[in-house]
Amino acid sequence: MTDCLFCKIAAGEIPSEIVYQDDQVTVFKDIHPAAPVHMLVIPNAHIPSVQAMQEEDQLLFGKLFFTAKKVAQEAGIGESGYRLIVNDGPDAHQEIFHVHMHILGGAKMVHPMG
């Protein structure tokens, strides 16, 4: 999608602090971190939301989780723990309509969420 911020980041059209990238997934640091470690995991393909996911996207969504695990370990938060968040739709406060997973860690998380 030509006007999608995350598509432009994945394509290298907008500068970002890329942590990991391959042909399917890109991980970059959030520009407004909510934790000491705050990265976003996105599919390179434009999928606006979880609800827009198709059956053929199942392996890609699994890869998002596996990549999150990998970069969390590399960031030093694999053992202490981290939070994965996917906001889906306006009521969940999804701000950019390109599926993305937040990795938050590096500090003790507050519970309950809400």
Mean pLDDT throughout 41-66?
97
Check residue 1 and give its pLDDT. Answer: 60
Check residue 83 and give its pLDDT. Answer: 96
Reported in sequence order, the residue ranges of 1-114 that DSSP labels E, i.e. its strands, are 18-21, 25-29, 37-43, 82-85, 101-105
Check residue 2 and give its pLDDT. Answer: 73
Give residue 114's pLDDT band: very low, low, confident or very high (50, 70, 90): very low
- pTM higher than 0.75 for the full model? yes
User: Domain spanning 5-105: which superfamily?
Assistant: HIT-like (3.30.428.10)
> Closest Cα to residue 42, out of 93, 109, 97?
97
**Comparing 29 with 2, which gets the higher pLDDT?**
29
Mean pLDDT throughout 34-61?
97
Question: Which one is catalytic: 32, 38, 46, 100?
Answer: 100
Structural domain spans, the chain: 5-105
Known catalytic residue: 100? yes
Residue 21 corresponds to which tokens in the numbers above?
Answer: 């990238």
Residue 39 corresponds to which tokens in the numbers above?
Answer: 């990265």
